[in-house]
Structure formats: C-alpha cells, structure tokens
Amino acid sequence: MDEILEILEKDCRASTEEIARMLKKKPESVKQAIKKYEKEGVILKYKAVINNELIKDADAEVRALIEVNILPQKDLGFDRIAERIYSFPEVSSCYLISGTYDLLLIVEGKDLHTVARFVAEKLAPLEHVRGTATHFLLKKYKEDGVILKHKEENKRIAISY
C-alpha cells in the first residue's frame, strides 16, 4: 500500500504538511495524491474511533455481529443477496467470509429488541437466507488498532477486623 494511505489509515488527522515531512516529499505532491485517491474512490471516508464507554449518553446504541448463512444465486453468487442485506439502514458493515457462515454483518440499533426485530422481521425472512447467529457486543477493548481506556471501577477500601 502507498505510504500516504498507510499514514492516513493510522491517523486521518495528519496534515499534508506532516505527511510530506514524514515522507520527505513536497506538500503539494501529497495533496495531489490524496485528491486523486479521493476522486478514484480509494479513500472513501475519514473516520474517528470513538470510545462510547466514556460518553455519558442515555441513547447509546447496541451493536451486534450477525453471521448469516445464505444460498448463493445462480450466475450471481453472493453479491446480489449481500447487496440486498447491506442496503438495510441497520447494517453498518457487511463482509463475505470463509467458514460455516457466508456473511458477517455489523448491525446497530437503539436496543436489543430493535436488533432482534431486524433479524426476525427483515433479515431471516429473506428468500436466500438459510440461518443466522447473533452476537451482541458487550464491551470493546480495542478498535481499529486503538486500545480503548475504560471507566475506572468503583474501588472500595478493604476493611479488616
């Protein structure tokens, strides 16, 4: 992978001047390369990794990993059904995987029931879906290479008699 892309993947806040300095290039050439990557669709989005546990938000969403077993369509393979599934707004990511299941979805909802309803009412009834396994995310320790700090637990002083 191009060095500019590697730097941006690790820290999307790196300025063109910083990247140019790191790579011993002119800032204008770095800027042009980035614009070209954006235009070609190589760079699709810039993202921040958020530690939701440190945000006091009553409206925090629930995330689930859902494994989906599907029957590929003749002459179309997995692509058509995957497109149908990733078009649902609840699906934030969709991957074709090897192993027992065919697709891995990351699904978000306002609570457990919302995700469960998505699976029961929208995903499972699809014609080519043969089975699902849902795993709710309970705690994140590391995301996109970043170790997430957690709230300090209430530490009680030990009392001895």
Question: In whole angstroms, what is the distance from residue 102 CA to residue 132 CA?
Answer: 10
Shared domain check, 35 and 72: no
Structure confidence at residue 121 (pLDDT): 98
Task: Give the pLDDT confidence score for residue 91 in this predicted structure.
Answer: 98
Say if residue 29 is in the same domain as residue 84. Answer: no
- Do 36 and 82 belong together in one domain? no
Domain at 69, CATH number? 3.30.70.920
Q: Taking Cα atoms as reference points, which of 64, 81, 76 lies closest to residue 135?
A: 64
Looking at the structure of the chain, the number of domains it has is 2
pLDDT in tens, 56-88: 765 678 999 999 999 998 888 899 999 999 999
Which pLDDT belongs to residue 151?
67
Strand order in the sheet with 91-96: 91-96, 103-109, 62-70, 129-136
Domain that holds residue 117: 62-139
What is the mean predicted confidence (pLDDT) over 6-16?
A: 93
Q: Which helix (H) or strand (E) holds 103?
A: strand 103-109
Count of CA atoms in the C-beta half-sphere (13 A) of 49: 14
The whole model's pTM is what? 0.79
- What is the mean predicted confidence (pLDDT) over 35-58? 86
My answer on whether 25 and 76 are in the same domain is no
Q: What is the mean pLDDT of the chain?
A: 91
In a domain, 146, yes or no: no
